[in-house]
């Protein structure tokens, strides 16, 4: 019960854990990104599916390219 209340009242500080290319939630969409974020404080996991061509998608791709160098 304590962990449940901690997650509800947490001021989440999400950090990027990983991201990968996928075919969407139901598998029929064209190639898109799924990113996993985790809260530093309560360990809550949050999944994000940015739209194609959005700023978040471009940021994730740029982050990956910088990480590889």
Write the pLDDT tens digit of every residue in 11-47.
Answer: 889 998 888 888 877 777 778 888 999 999 888 899 9
pLDDT value at position 37? Answer: 93
Q: What whole-number distance in Å separates Cα of residue 69 and Cα of residue 51?
A: 26
pLDDT value at position 47? Answer: 92
Task: Give the CB-side neighbour count of residue 42, counting CA atoms within 13 A.
Answer: 15
pLDDT tier, 69 (very low <50, low <70, confident <90, very high otherwise): low
3-state secondary structure of 17: strand
Residue 29 — φ and ψ, nearest 5°?
-80, 160
3-state secondary structure of 57: helix
């Amino acid at each position: 019960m304590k962990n449940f209340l901690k997650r509800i009242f947490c001021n989440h500080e999400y950090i990027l854990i990983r991201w990968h290319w996928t075919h969407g939630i139901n598998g029929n969409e064209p190639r898109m990104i799924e990113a996993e974020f985790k809260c530093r404080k309560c360990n809550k996991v949050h999944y994000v599916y940015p739209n194609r061509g959005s700023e978040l998608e471009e940021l994730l791709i740029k982050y990956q390219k910088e990480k590889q160098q």
